[in-house]
Each structure stands twice: as structure tokens, then as C-alpha cells.
Amino acid sequence: MKPGARLQTAVELLDLIEAESSKPADAVLADAFRVRRYAGSKDRAAIAEIVYGVLRHRAQLDWWLDKRAMERTGRTRALAFAVLTDRYGAATVPTTAQEGGYAVAALSAQEAEWLALLEGRALGDTDQPAETAANVPAWVAERLKRQFDGRWEAQAQALMTEAPVDIRANLLKTSREEVIDLLRGDGIDCAPCALSPVGVRLTQRRPLTGTAPFKQGLLEVQDEGSQLVALLVDAKPGQKVVDFCAGAGGKTLALAAQMGNKGRIVACDTSEVRLGRAADRLKRAGSFTVERRVLTSAKDKWVKRRAARFDGGFDRVLVDAPCTGSGTWRRNPDQKWRVAETDLQELTRLQSEILDSAARLVAPGGRLVYATCSLLQDENEDRIAAFLEGRPDFFLYPYADIWRETVGGAPPVEGDTLRLTPADHGTDGFFAAVLGRKL
């Protein structure tokens, strides 16, 4: 593809992402590239670079658009990004429109004048507000400032970087060392993760689904932070465990490996589609102790029937609660512009409801692990404090004690709860709190 065609494709994909608000950007790109089979690997990489660059820096781009009274569209954002990052000079963009065929449409006189004014400038500008320079919504910046004080901008900046590819060695079938050897044998350079004892990080982004280790179920793609949350559940062979918000089963698979396929795991979710995607993953991984159960809501009748007071309860209950996903904005930069402050209020209400309902399943002496992939205190520490205030039969179990047993080494943060961030730990942002139920 010629440069003009790449730019035009990026424009179309940005408009699609904006229009299909329920579909994440990576899914939009995957669908588009399946249709556009003529786009080679270099073309796809160049197009994705523009699309994700726009999404990561949207606040700064919109600042420049507003400054010149330009409409905010996929086209104007892509053109501004191309010029401000020197991918195309202001004088070069018009030539891409002359390539013919599938090239970007010719510039209007207003666009040409505007792009000329951007020539030689950078995405950042000293006049930009702090939240604009950090490329986060103002309401998010306000919360990050309260939580991280003088370090908040570094936390926000880390969300604009490209996330690494992490995988978890499936200990039901192999070891981490063998996975590393097999991948290196396929020409995929990788190394052990810094914190997770079962994690492997690729040094360069490479597709894995076509590799033999993946097809044989020896590995699963899973961020290192997510692996660590699963390890803090401390699920042991022979126990009864519930993954209450299992989704497509990433943490369910990790729990099954911890338990050595001995015991029982119930993977619950309100989405039959998400749980359905877990079926093939479980089969490939050789996880045969997992029951999948679709719930109508957090208060499904199944929860009441299996509650500790009626059925003895479960040894471990993991609540990986729905959240803003702010800790994963490196991977999903489009999501930061789709979540509003009003959504946060609804999410915190739902998180408390899920936590209260799941607590009924925990057996006396068992543990409830609450986790999110969010950086925001509203969804994390505040939810735990509210829960403990109304549940004197639960207590906060210091995560560090479990860390030393299941992960090993020194715990990465002080305090009784775990908060991982891209800036501080190189993982996605995760929070985890372990709650013990009194006997």
C-alpha cells in the first residue's frame, strides 16, 4: 500500500472505532484487516501505528484542533498526528492525495492552511493543561493527583506507552523454562517476567497463536499483573473455588493450574458469550475441573443456594470486578475516552453489589479476593473499606504474607493491599485485596 492508502485506512478505522462504541479498537482493527487482505504486515503495522497514536494522544490532538477551530474527526486527528509526529510533512500530505486509487482525499484550502501552521510543532505545548499533556480525561487526572500526588503525571504518561506481550506457562503441562526454550527455538526472543514465577515476556511483539506451544496448550497470553492476582488467590489442590466474574477464563485457567486439576472450580459470568470463549481455552490447556455457569446477575438464585449458610461455601472466591479498566489503557487507549465520571459512579455501585453477593459464597475460614484492573481508589480501596464496614465477619488479610508463599521474593508495595501500575512495575494496572472470613 502507498502512504496515502495507509493514511486513508487509518482515517476510516478511527471513524469506525468512534461509531462502534461497544467494540474495542483492537477488535475493529482485527475485523478490518481480515477484510483488507491486500494489506501486508508492514501496511498493517503502519496503519495501527497511526490509529493507536491518535487514540493515545487524542487529548493533545483535540487541543490543536480546537485551537484552530477544526472539527474533531478521524480525518483531522489522523492528519494532525501525521504532521505533528513528522510521519508526513505538511507539504507531503497533499502528495499522498495524488497517488490515485485508495489514497486519502485531497486537502481543502482550510486543511492545507491549518496543517502548514502545525509544521515543525510537537504534540505537546507549554500552553496545554496538565490533563491534556497527560492525555487523560480531567476527572481521571483529578483522581490520579489525589492518589499519586507529584507522581501522577508519570503514572498517566505510562498509560500512553505500548504494552508488552506477556504469557503464562501452563504448569499442568510444562514449565516456564521449557516454554522459553521452545519459543526461542521458534525464533521468538523472550525472558522470564520480573515478578511472576510463571510469566514470560516477549522482547518484541510477535503472533503466538500459530506456534506449536500455543496450539499444545503450553502457554496462555496473560499480562503479568493478572498472573499475580491469580497467584494471590492461593488456590490449593482439592479446594472448592469460584471465579465469580470469569469472563473468557484467563484467571480461571491460572487457578486450575495452581490446583493441579485437583478440586473444583466454578467459573461464573453474566455473559454466555464470554464464558463460551473459555471452553476452547480450557480444553487446550487440559483443565478438566472447571464448571461454567451463566448467572442472571450478581444476585442469581444459584448464589443463594450455594451460600455458606446453606451449602458450606467455597474455600476461595475471586471477584475480578467490572471496572473502568484504567489500568489497561496502554492496551485499550480508546476506552479512556469512552468512560465518563457518571459511568464510574454506576461501576462503584455495581462493584459493591457484586462483592456483597459473592461474599455469601465464602466458607468460614475461606478467603474472598477482590480485584480490578483499575488505578482508581474509588474502585479499589474505597470499595474494600465500604465492604468491611458492613461485614464484621470479614477481615483484611495482608497480601504480603500470601505473596511470599505463592509468588516469592519481597512484596512490591507496602501496605495490606496490592496496587500494581505500568509506571512502577511494568505490568498493567491492577488492584487486589484478600479478605478472610472469620471462623
Task: DSSP for 25-44, please give it.
Answer: HHHHHHHHHHH-TT--HHHH
Q: What integer pLDDT is reported at residue 177 of this predicted model?
A: 98
Amino acid letter, residue 49? E
Domain co-membership, 199 together with 290: no
pLDDT category, 89, cuts 50, 70, 90? low
Strands 264-269 and 166-169: what pairing?
Answer: unpaired
Q: What integer pLDDT is reported at residue 2 of this predicted model?
A: 80
Domain co-membership, 246 together with 296: yes
Strands 166-169 and 199-202: what pairing?
Answer: antiparallel
Domain co-membership, 146 together with 120: no
What is the helix (H) or strand (E) element at residue 389, kind and residue range?
helix 381-390
Domain co-membership, 289 together with 394: yes
The residue-averaged pLDDT of 385-403 equals 97
Give 119-174 pLDDT, tens digit per residue: 889 999 999 999 999 999 999 999 999 999 899 999 999 999 999 999 999 999 99
Question: Pick from 115, 18, 113, 23: which is nearest to 74 by CA?
Answer: 18
**Least confident interval from 88-97, 111-120, 123-132:** 88-97
Q: What integer pLDDT is reported at residue 426 of this predicted model?
A: 97
Determine the Cα–Cα distance for residues 209 and 175; give it in Å rounded to an integer: 19
- In angstroms, the first-to-last Cα distance of the chain is 66
Domain co-membership, 57 together with 181: no
Between 38 and 14, the more confident residue is 14
Domain co-membership, 272 together with 173: no
Determine the Cα–Cα distance for residues 212 and 192; give it in Å rounded to an integer: 19
Is residue 76 within 8 Å of 65, Cβ to Cβ?
yes
- Beta bridge partners, 291, equal 266
Give the domain CATH number at 413.
3.40.50.150
Domain boundary among the residues 187, 202, 221 is at 221
Domain co-membership, 293 together with 408: yes
Give the domain CATH number at 69.
1.10.940
Q: Note the Cα 296 to chain centre separation in Å.
A: 25
Domain co-membership, 102 together with 231: no
Catalytic residue among 193, 268, 323, 373: 373
CA contacts within 13 A on the Cβ side of 262: 6
Tell me the three state secondary structure of residue 284.
helix
CA distances from 287 to 173, 242, 244, 290, 292 (A): 10, 15, 18, 7, 12
Q: What integer pLDDT is reported at residue 427 of this predicted model?
A: 98
Whether 193 is a known active-site residue: answer no
Domain co-membership, 90 together with 195: no
Give the domain CATH number at 212.
3.30.70.1170
Instruction: Identify the domain containing residue 298 by its residue range.
Output: 224-437
Orientation angle between helical segments 41-56 and 74-84, nearest 10 degrees: 100
Q: Which cell numbers in the block locate residue 89?
A: 510533512
Is residue 101 within 8 Å of 119, Cβ to Cβ?
no
Domain co-membership, 287 together with 351: yes
∠ CA 56-195-146, nearest 5°, is 50
**Least confident interval from 19-23, 159-163, 414-418, 429-433:** 19-23
Strands 190-192 and 199-202: what pairing?
Answer: antiparallel
What backbone torsions phi and psi does residue 43 show, to the nearest 5 degrees? -65, -45
Domain co-membership, 245 together with 217: no
E strand residue ranges, 78-222: 166-169, 190-192, 199-202, 219-221
Q: What integer pLDDT is reported at residue 35 of this predicted model?
A: 84
Tell me the three state secondary structure of residue 291.
strand
Give 184-209 pLDDT, tens digit per residue: 999 999 999 999 999 999 999 998 99
The residue-averaged pLDDT of 434-439 equals 96
Domain co-membership, 350 together with 277: yes
∠ CA 135-138-141, nearest 5°, is 75
Q: What integer pLDDT is reported at residue 104 of this predicted model?
A: 79
Tell me the percentage of the chain whose pLDDT exceeds 70: 97
Task: DSSP for 358-382, please give it.
Answer: HHTTEEEEEEEEEEES---GGGTHH
Q: What's the structural domain count of the chain?
A: 4
- Tally the residues of the chain: 439
Mean of pLDDT over the chain: 93
Q: What integer pLDDT is reported at residue 353 of this predicted model?
A: 97
